Amino acid sequence: MNPESLNLVEFVKSKRRSLQLTQPELASKAGVGLRFVREIEQGKTTLRMDKVNQVLKLFGQELGPVPINRKKLTDESS
């Protein structure tokens, strides 16, 4: 699975499952609450970036700028 083609929800779920971690285990290892892990995996649109990075750090990743398709943005706003 190419990490660049996944959104955050898919990436975290996929990596957690591939490591055979439960949500509580991931929360414990990342130092975040179980509720936060559930919010990530449910696609909550407002999350603290520092906490997201705590989770992603376990998978050797971090948040960063992602290029967007400007044409898609203008098409969606029409």
DSSP class of 7: -
Is the domain spanning 3-77 CATH 1.10.260.40? The answer is yes
Residues 7-30: tens digit of each pLDDT: 999 999 999 999 999 999 999 999
Enumerate the domain spans of the chain. Answer: 3-77
- Distance CA(26)–CA(5), nearest Å, equals 22
Which pLDDT tens digit goes with each residue over 35-59? 999 999 999 999 999 999 999 999 9
Are 26 and 52 in contact by the 8 Å Cβ rule? The answer is no
Whether residue 21 contacts residue 12, with contact meaning beta carbons closer than 8 Å, is answered with no
Above 50 in pLDDT, residue 1? no
Distance CA 33, CA 21 (A): 15
Per the CB < 8 A criterion, the answer to whether 53 and 47 are in contact is: no
